[in-house]
Amino acid sequence: MSEKKTNRRDFLFTATYAVGAVGLGATVWPMIDQMNPDASVKALASTEVDVSSVTPGKTITVLWRGKPVFIRRRTQDEITDARSVKLEDLKDPQKDEDRAKDPEWLVMLGVCTHLGCVPLDQKGDYNGWFCPCHGSHYDTSGRIRKGPAPTNMEVPKYEFVNANTIKIG
Amino acid sequence: MKNFFKILLLTHFLFVVSLSSNAAEKVEYLKTDWTFKGLFGKFDRGSLQRGYQVYTEVCAACHSMKYVSYRNLAEKGGPEFSVEQAKAIAASFEVKDGPNADGEMFTRPGKLSDKFVMPYENVKAAQAANGGAYPPDMSVLVKARGGGANYIYSLLQGYEDPPIGITLDEGVHYNKYMYGNKIKMANPLSDGLIEYADGTTASVEQMSKDVTTFLTWAAEPHLEARHRMGFKAVVYLIILTILVYFSMKRIWSRIETEV
Amino acid sequence: MSDQEYIPKSKFGKWFNDRLPLLTLASHLTDYPTPKNLNYWWTFGGILTFCLITQIVTGLTLAMHYIAHADMAFESVEHIMRDVNYGWLIRYIHANGASMFFLAVYIHIFRSLFYGSYKSPREIIWIIGIIIYLLMMAAAFMGYVLPWGQMSFWGATVITNLFSAIPLVGEGIVTWLWGGYSVDNPTLTRFFTLHYLIPFLILGLVVLHIWALHVPGNNNPIGIDVKKPSKDTVPFHPYIVIKDGFALLMFMIVFAFFVFYAPNILGHADNYIEADPLVTPAHIVPEWYLLPFYAILRSVPDKLLGVVAMLSAILILAALPWLDTSKIRSAVFRPLYKQFYWILVADVLILGYVGAMPAEGLYLLIARVATAYYFLHFLLILPILGLKEKTLPVPLSITEPILGGSPNLATAKNKEKLNN
Q: Residue B68's closest chain A neighbor by CA?
A: A40
DSSP E strand boundaries for C240-318: none
Which pLDDT score is estimated for B8?
55
CA dist B110 and B238 (Å) reads 48
CA dist A145 and B144 (Å) reads 61
Q: How far is CA C419 from CA A10, B5, C409, C413, in A?
A: 40, 22, 15, 10
Taking CB atoms and an 8 Å limit, are C86 and A39 in contact across chains?
no
Provide the percentage of residues in chain B whose pLDDT is more than 90. Answer: 73
CA dist C117 and B93 (Å) reads 67
Per DSSP, the three-state class of C417 is helix
Instruction: Give residues with Cβ within 8 angstroms of C366, minimum separation 6.
Output: C350, C354
B101 touches chain C (CB under 8 A): no
Q: How many helices (H) and strands (E) does chain B have?
A: 7, 4
Instruction: For residue C381, give the DSSP letter.
Output: I
Give the number of other Cβ atoms within 10 Å of residue B213's Cβ.
30
> Does position B4 have pLDDT exceeding 80, yes or no?
no
CA dist B186 and B167 (Å) reads 16
Instruction: For residue C240, give the DSSP letter.
Output: I
- The residues facing A70 across adjacent strands are A61, A108
Instruction: For residue A159, give the DSSP letter.
Output: E
Instruction: Give residues with Cβ within 8 angstroms of B94, minimum separation 6.
Output: B107, B108, B109, B110, B117
Label residue B19 by pLDDT band (50, 70, 90): low
CA dist C160 and C194 (Å) reads 14
Q: Residue A13's closest chain B neighbor by CA?
A: B247
A27 touches chain C (CB under 8 A): no
Taking CB atoms and an 8 Å limit, are C265 and B15 in contact across chains?
yes
Per DSSP, the three-state class of B163 is coil
Entry field: residues in chain C:
420
Which pLDDT score is estimated for C404?
44
Instruction: Give residues with Cβ within 8 angstroms of B247, minimum separation 6.
Output: A12, A13, A16, C242
Interface test with B, best of C260, C265, C271, C411 (most B CBs within 10 A): C260
| Every domain range in chain C assigned CATH 1.20.810.10 | 32-280
ipTM of the complex: 0.90
| pTM reported for the whole predicted model | 0.90
* Chain A hits for B236, Cβ within 8 Å: 19, 22-23, 26
* Chain A hits for C83, Cβ within 8 Å: 38-41
Of B17, B146, B244, the CB nearest to C288: B17
Of B69, B112, B240, the CB nearest to A20: B240
Question: Any idea which architecture C285-389 has in CATH?
Answer: Orthogonal Bundle (1.10)
Q: What share of chain B is helix, strand, coil (3-state, %, to 5)?
A: 45, 5, 50
Query: What distance lies between CA C126 and its chain's CA centroid?
Result: 11
Helix (H) or strand (E) holding C173: helix C170-178
Q: Chains meeting A at 3+ CB pairs closer than 8 A?
A: B, C
CA dist B71 and B221 (Å) reads 12
Which pLDDT score is estimated for C228?
79
Taking CB atoms and an 8 Å limit, are A23 and B69 in contact across chains?
no
Q: Which residues of chain A have pLDDT under 70?
A: 1-9
Considering Cα of B25, then B26, then B31, then B37, what sign does the dihedral take? positive
CA angle B173–B176–B181, rounded 5-degree value: 55
* Chain C hits for A39, Cβ within 8 Å: 82-85
Taking CB atoms and an 8 Å limit, are A38 and C84 in contact across chains?
yes
Q: Residue B9's closest chain C neighbor by CA?
A: C254
Q: How far is CA B66 from CA A80, B63, C79, C402, in A?
A: 52, 9, 11, 70
A50 touches chain B (CB under 8 A): yes
Closest CA to C131 of C206, C53, C200, C197: C206
Taking CB atoms and an 8 Å limit, are A15 and B243 in contact across chains?
yes
Provide the percentage of residues in chain B whose pLDDT is more than 70. Answer: 89
Helix (H) or strand (E) holding C249: helix C241-261
CA dist C114 and C338 (Å) reads 7
CA dist A126 and A138 (Å) reads 6
Closest CA to C116 of C41, C43, C47, C50: C41
What phi, psi does C260 have (nearest 5°)? -95, -25
Average pLDDT score over residue span B87-111: 90
B133 touches chain A (CB under 8 A): no
> Do residues A138 and A119 touch, judged by C-beta distance below 8 A?
yes
B76 touches chain A (CB under 8 A): no
Closest CA to B207 of B59, B45, B44, B54: B54
Interface test with A, best of B246, B249, B251, B253 (most A CBs within 10 A): B246
The per-residue pLDDT for range B198-234, each reduced to its tens digit, is 999 999 999 999 999 999 999 999 999 999 999 999 9
Taking only residues 28 to 67 of chain A, the set having a beta carbon closer than 8 angstroms to any beta carbon of chain C reads 30-31, 33-36, 38-41
pLDDT block averages, 10 residues each, chain C of length 420: 72 95 94 94 98 98 97 97 97 98 98 96 97 97 97 95 93 96 96 98 98 96 89 93 97 97 95 95 90 95 94 96 95 96 97 92 95 97 94 84 48 50
Q: Which amino acid makes up residue C44?
A: F
Active site residue A114: no
Name the CA dihedral angle for B91, B94, B100, B102, rounded to a multiple of 10 degrees. Answer: 140
Entry field: residues in chain B:
259
Q: Residue B242's closest chain A neighbor by CA?
A: A16
CA dist A20 and A23 (Å) reads 5
CA dist C37 and C44 (Å) reads 15
Whether omega for the bond prior to residue C33 falls within 30 degrees of 0, making it cis, is no
Q: Chains meeting C at 3+ CB pairs closer than 8 A?
A: A, B
Burial class for C110, CB neighbours closer than 10 Å (0-12, 13-18, 19+): middle
Helix (H) or strand (E) holding B183: strand B182-183
> Do residues B194 and B59 touch, judged by C-beta distance below 8 A?
no
Average pLDDT score over residue span B148-156: 96
CA dist C94 and C64 (Å) reads 14
| B88 to chain C, closest Cα gap in Å | 22
Give start and end residues of each alpha helix (H) in B23-122.
45-57, 83-91
Label residue B3 by pLDDT band (50, 70, 90): low
CB pairs under 8 A between B and C: 130
* Chain B hits for C239, Cβ within 8 Å: 251-252, 255
The per-residue pLDDT for range B225-258, each reduced to its tens digit, is 999 999 999 999 999 999 999 999 999 998 876 6
From the list A29, A134, A135, A151, the catalytic residue is A134
Give start and end residues of each alpha helix (H) in A34-147.
39-43, 76-84, 96-99
Taking CB atoms and an 8 Å limit, are A39 and B71 in contact across chains?
yes
The reply to whether CATH 1.20.810.10 applies to domain C32-280 is yes
